[in-house]
Each structure stands twice: as structure tokens, then as C-alpha cells.
Amino acid sequence: MFARRDVAVGLVRERPNPSVLDIGCGSGRVAENMLDAGAGRYVGVDFSEPMIDLSRPRLARFGDKVTLITGDFVTAPVEGTFDVGVAVGFFDYIEDPTPFVRKVASLVDDVFVASFPRKDFIKGTARKIRYELLHDCPIFDYTERELNFLFKTAGFARVSLRTWRTGYVMTAHKR
């Protein structure tokens, strides 16, 4: 989790006063780091009201820089465009990522960073048992080929993947 967060925070830190879109923002832990790193505007979207409720007090010190939206990202009313887009731990639960990636491409002008699980026999099997069998929560794996195709057809010019334990940290650039 820390490696994924560090990539996102690094992209924010490299840009002057960037606007950030965080898909599946959860409790705001990654948001706090991105705002501390210099984000000038932050919009977090999560379908879970309890998670948004957890993030409000954590991000309150950043005042009007922060907008939190509860809802499905594909249909959520997100306004404007963003320098940096982030989706850490989000795509694990998305059966059809195409509409999400298309919306990301329409909102992010510069760079998008996301994490994706990949097939791994030992950890992947344990994860499938834990989430799908015990908690009735389907999870989805991705391949490098799928991710390259998905993001390039959505309009990203360059896609780079870094392999980590059971997944990828992907950085997709518009230019």
C-alpha cells in the first residue's frame, strides 16, 4: 500500500499546485498525503458514505481545497479537469473497467496512477478465498496486455507498469 501511495504523492509533488482527482478515495489517508505534498485542488469520489464520513474530519484542515463526492464514479457529477488522477485499491473490485477508464480519460489532462491486482497463484488464491468465498466480494485480476490496451484505447499516450507483490502500479500519461 505504501509503494502505491508514494507513487501518487510523488506525481503530485512534481507539479506546481496540481488539481487531483481521487477515485475510491476511502477514508482520505492517501488524500491527506497528496494535499500535504502540494495539491491545490482535491476531489475525492467514493461510493461509500461511511468512508466519505471518515475522510471529512481528516481533510477538514485543508478547507475549500477539498471536495468529496459520494456516488458511483461513472455517474458522479465531477466538474472540471485534473492534472493528476489516482485510483489506489479501486480496480480490484471493478468487473468492467472500460467505462471508468473512459471517464478518467475525459477528466485527467496529464497523468493517472492506479493499482491493479494480477494473477498470483499463492497470494491470489488466498485473496480470492478471503474476499469471494468468505465475504461474497468478487475481485478481479488484470494482465499487462489488458492494461496497456485499456488505457491506450482510452487516449493515454504512454502506459508504464511496475510490478509489485501481487499487482501492478500503473502510470498512464496523456502526452
Gap between the Cα atoms of 157 and 161, Å rounded: 14
For 165, residues 6+ apart whose C-beta sits below 8 A from its C-beta are 120, 123
Share of the chain above pLDDT 70, in %: 88
Place of cell 475510491: 24
Gap between the Cα atoms of 1 and 24, Å rounded: 14
pTM: 0.90
Interval 52-98: pLDDT, tens = 999 999 999 999 999 999 999 999 999 999 999 999 989 988 989 99
CA end-to-end distance (rounded Å), the chain: 27
CATH number of the CATH domain containing 13: 3.40.50.150
Model confidence at 121: pLDDT above 60: no
For 128, residues 6+ apart whose C-beta sits below 8 A from its C-beta are 139
Number of domains in the chain: 1
C-alpha closest to that of 97 among 27, 48, 168: 168
Interval 36-48: pLDDT, tens = 999 999 999 999 9
Domain span holding position 146:
2-173
Q: 148, 155 in Cβ contact below 8 A?
A: no
For 143, residues 6+ apart whose C-beta sits below 8 A from its C-beta are 118, 119
Distance (Å) of CA 124 to CA 38, 92, 121: 36, 12, 5
